Amino acid sequence: MLPVSNPLILPAMQMDKYDFMILDIIQKHKAENQSHIRLSVLERNFWKCIEADTDLHVGQARIGERITNLYLDGLIQNKDGYTLTKKGREQRSFAPWSKDTEVA
């Protein structure tokens, strides 16, 4: 008989540029506005970033799924708007772009 894996233990999410972009948008909003970002503003800024970057494709974006996965992995929290957790801030430091050339 094969061992049954525990369904409560999920492997760590593989993050890509889209996921890091969401973390970056949330952090920048917090720094600029001193408040948590609302879902509608997060989505609007996400789509603007995708439109501005020719390397990104709308079909791969799936923002709802990505936000859910970031939340389930403990990288973001939703308390009267989205904000990064400590784990999310740490993960953001591994973004594929350098600190000097962050996504707008």
Q: What's the pLDDT score for residue 31?
A: 95
Q: What is the token pair recorded at 7?
A: 């369904």
- How far apart (Å, rounded) are the C-alpha atoms in residues 39 and 17? 19
pLDDT in tens, 15-72: 888 899 999 999 999 999 999 999 999 999 998 988 887 777 777 778 899 999 999 9
User: What is the pTM (predicted TM-score) of this model?
Assistant: 0.76
Is there a domain that residue 34 lies in? yes
**Domain count for the chain:** 1
Is there a domain that residue 104 lies in? no
Domain that holds residue 57: 17-92
pLDDT of 101 above 50: no
48, 84, 96, 99, 104 from 92: Cα distances, Å: 20, 9, 9, 10, 15
4, 10, 11, 74 from 7: Cα distances, Å: 9, 7, 10, 17
Q: What's the pLDDT score for residue 16?
A: 85
- CB contact at 8 A, 37 and 81: yes
